Structure 1
Amino acid sequence: MSVTIDITGLPEERVLFTPSPLAELNAMLHVLAEPAHHPALHGWAAGTTTRIPPELAERLSEADFLWRSSRADFLAPGLPGGTLAEELDAIDRIDDELYVRGALITTCGSARFSRRLGSPLTDPAANERARDLATARGPRQAAFADRLLADPPAVRALVRRMLEDCHAVFFADAWQRVLPDLAADARRKADLHARHGLAEAIAAVSPAVALEEDGGRRRIVIDKLQDSTTSGTDGGGVTFIPTVFGRPHLLVVHARGWRPVLQYPVAEAGPAEPVSLALVQQRLEALAHPIRLRLARTIARGPHTTGELAAAWQLSAPEVSRHLAVLRKAGLLITERRGRYMLYQLDLSGSARLGSDFLEAVLR
């Protein structure tokens, strides 16, 4: 499975390698929401959490809809600015329709929903579906979606103020620390592009990204959970954004109406911890089935119900339950009851024992 970006005929200068303060803030917020995805950043996450005032922490919890399981498209700008304020001004120029669709992306299933149905602002069926998906995520997400669909301008203003408050509390200091590394990495990739061509620059981004050229066609192919195709030519170009806090995720914004963006990690993984051969064998056998591997990649990003997994992969609920039972027996699942929903999530600490390559693959 892969995301394919068609760049046939795209001028070379339309491929950018550049840092983005907003994208890095987005990555930091994801670390705070999902620290288990980022074991190397546990110290930073714990220290930062203690600095955040309770009122801001409450607002971040209510809005983690935007960056926990998936990322709102507008948080990865196609044309990054020099400052966070410039990038927030650019978000303000996005119309409500694009903003709301971007904000409602929480899982692969909801991404498919947003393309199939009409506008959740005007189509009752799409509106109801958006509210159902948010309710399955939890009461805070449901409340956020209700407010967003009822009054987009008010929520947009609230989100901007929240991001500005994050800048004041913790982002400004962290950004100054990582900006030299991000700028240096972007310069190295741009230099490879200029001197040796796009294929070599892309190969340096990640082994999960490749440039394919065939019969005059050029495509950037990224190993991801879903099969999707978009056009860099129609979007005006492609942007590669380095990240320190985003590792191990390989974030791709490829929705219709957005310039394709790929946020790639510059940090390296730590070594995997040793485990018993019997445990490794049991977990590898559990993950050997292609459907179970798909389910694992889905629930690695956040908790899902059986119904959500069945809808996302066009399976029956009993079939999903059988596969989840195998993963649970191998000690790879975390379960949580939230109201009438039972949520399933991949145990990332246990999965990490299989090795950093596996962890990066499921979180890509």
Structure 2
Amino acid sequence: MSVRIDIQGLRPESVTVVPSPLAELGMALHALSEPGHHPGLQGWATGVTARMEPHLADRMSEADFLWRTTFSDLFLPYAAVPDALPAGTLAGELDQLDKLTDEQFVDTALEFTGVIAYDTRVPGLLSDPAGRRRALAVAASRGPQQVRFARRLLDDPPSVRAWLRRFLADCAGAFFDETWSRLRHQLAADARHKTELLRRKGLAEALAAVSPAVTLDETGTRITVDKLTDGHARVAADGLLLVPTSLGRPHLMVLHRYGWQPVLHYPVGSPELASPASVEELTLRMAALSHPVRMRLCRHLARSAHTTSELAQLHGLSAPEVSRHLGVLKRAGLVTTRRRGRYVLHQLDVTVVARLGSDFLEGMLR
């Protein structure tokens, strides 16, 4: 399984490496919401959380599906704007976010529902009543707060857009401006290094430096990103964009949304992970993960809690089949469950999975 980007005809000067403060703010919100994904950031996350005003924390949970369940492409809005690059300032990139149409904004914000195709042209949720109903049903499984927000988004996109911009600006003042002032130099240095590799040694060398999971084929016409998902994109006149992240490790993400410029959002730095499990635990857990279906289930469960019926729909399986696989994972101590109203939600325990080794964890979170 992989994401493939066709780059036939791509000119070297059309490959751009540049940091993005808005993308990094999105990863900051994700790390605060899912600290288990980022063991190396626990000190930072604890400090930010301790200083955060309760009102801002409440607003953060109100729309956390934009950065917790999936990393929304709203944090990479320049990919949807013709001939645009990251503006380099948060205010400038929020202005780029304002350039998205309501349809683009809603479809991208509700990507977590999985009811709209990602890399093909399909009707938008604002014009598709059946898609709207499915999106609200999926949001309901996340809880009343999520469904209220999703309903607001579908009924009144402009007010939600204004809300999101105010929220992100408030996050900048509360904690992100200080964090960005420290990180931007590291990210700019990495961008310069990758740009120099592009100029001196070519795209293959630069992509190898981005991640061993990113390769260029022998013909130089296709990039393959090794991920537990399938996807396809084709570069257009805007070219290919590479955006480094410090807070995002270990996530290696590929924006391959239909009609948008492809983006590789790649991690720099290497925080340490937890120590390995005992031999007995390792044997049990690796046996549980030996089935390819359970590997694919883990990819979704690593990002968010899901119900059995959601997983069945996502993977084209019956609910009893999914339940059997979940039972194996739970007996191995890899999956936790909790009840929310009439829904039973399952989620991968990334702290436990981290003990299996960084290669496996990064594969799940890629």
**Partners in 1 of 2:121 and 2:92 — Cα distance?**
33
**Map of 1:106 onto structure 2:** 112
**Map of 2:38 onto structure 1:** 38
**Partners in 1 of 2:156 and 2:360 — Cα distance?**
42
Q: Secondary structure at the match of 1:258?
A: coil
Deviations 1:73-99 (A, max 9, x none): 121243211200000001111111111
Residue 319 of structure 1 aligns to which amino acid in structure 2?
Answer: E
RMSD: 1.5
Shift of 1:165: 0.5
**Map of 1:218 onto structure 2:** 221
Given the two structures, how large is their TM-score scaled by the length of structure 1?
0.96
Equivalent residue runs for 1:12-51 within 5 Å = 12-51=12-51
Answer whether contact 1:238 1:260 (CA < 8 A) is retained: yes
**Map of 2:62 onto structure 1:** 62
**Partners in 2 of 1:205 and 1:338 — Cα distance?**
40
**2:293 is matched with which residue: 291, 308, 314?**
291
Q: Secondary structure at the match of 1:263?
A: strand
Residue 281 of structure 1 aligns to which amino acid in structure 2?
Answer: T
**Is structure 2 residue 190 aligned with structure 1 residue 185?**
yes
Q: Secondary structure at the match of 2:259?
A: coil
**Map of 1:86 onto structure 2:** 92
- Call closer, same or farther: CA 1:111–1:347 in 2, change over 3 Å: farther
**Is structure 2 residue 285 aligned with structure 1 residue 279?**
no
Q: Secondary structure at the match of 1:4?
A: strand
**Map of 2:82 onto structure 1:** none
**Map of 1:322 onto structure 2:** 324
Residue 170 of structure 1 aligns to which amino acid in structure 2?
Answer: F
Residue 252 of structure 1 aligns to which amino acid in structure 2?
Answer: V
Shift of 1:275: 2.2
**Is structure 2 residue 341 aligned with structure 1 residue 339?**
yes
**1:97 is matched with which residue: 73, 95, 103?**
103
**1:262 is matched with which residue: 257, 261, 264?**
264
**Map of 2:315 onto structure 1:** 313
Deviations 1:275-324 (A, max 9, x none): 21111111111001000111111101110111111111100100000000
**Partners in 1 of 2:35 and 2:106 — Cα distance?**
26
Shift of 1:119: 2.0
Q: Secondary structure at the match of 2:49?
A: helix
Shift of 1:271: 4.7
Q: Where in structure 1 are there 5+ consecutive unaligned residues?
A: none
Higher mean C-alpha displacement, 201-210 vs 73-82: 73-82
Residue 102 of structure 2 aligns to which amino acid in structure 1?
Answer: D
**Is structure 2 residue 158 aligned with structure 1 residue 156?**
no
Length, aligned pairs only: 360
**Partners in 2 of 1:249 and 1:145 — Cα distance?**
26
Q: Secondary structure at the match of 2:215?
A: strand
Answer whether contact 2:39 2:273 (CA < 8 A) is retained: no
Answer whether contact 1:295 1:309 (CA < 8 A) is retained: yes
Q: Where in structure 2 are there 5+ consecutive unaligned residues?
A: 80-84
Q: Secondary structure at the match of 2:180?
A: helix
Shift of 1:272: 4.1
**Partners in 1 of 2:98 and 2:245 — Cα distance?**
24
**Map of 1:2 onto structure 2:** 2
Deviations 1:13-37 (A, max 9, x none): 1111110000000000001111111
Given the two structures, how large is their TM-score scaled by the length of structure 2?
0.95
**Partners in 2 of 1:197 and 1:86 — Cα distance?**
31
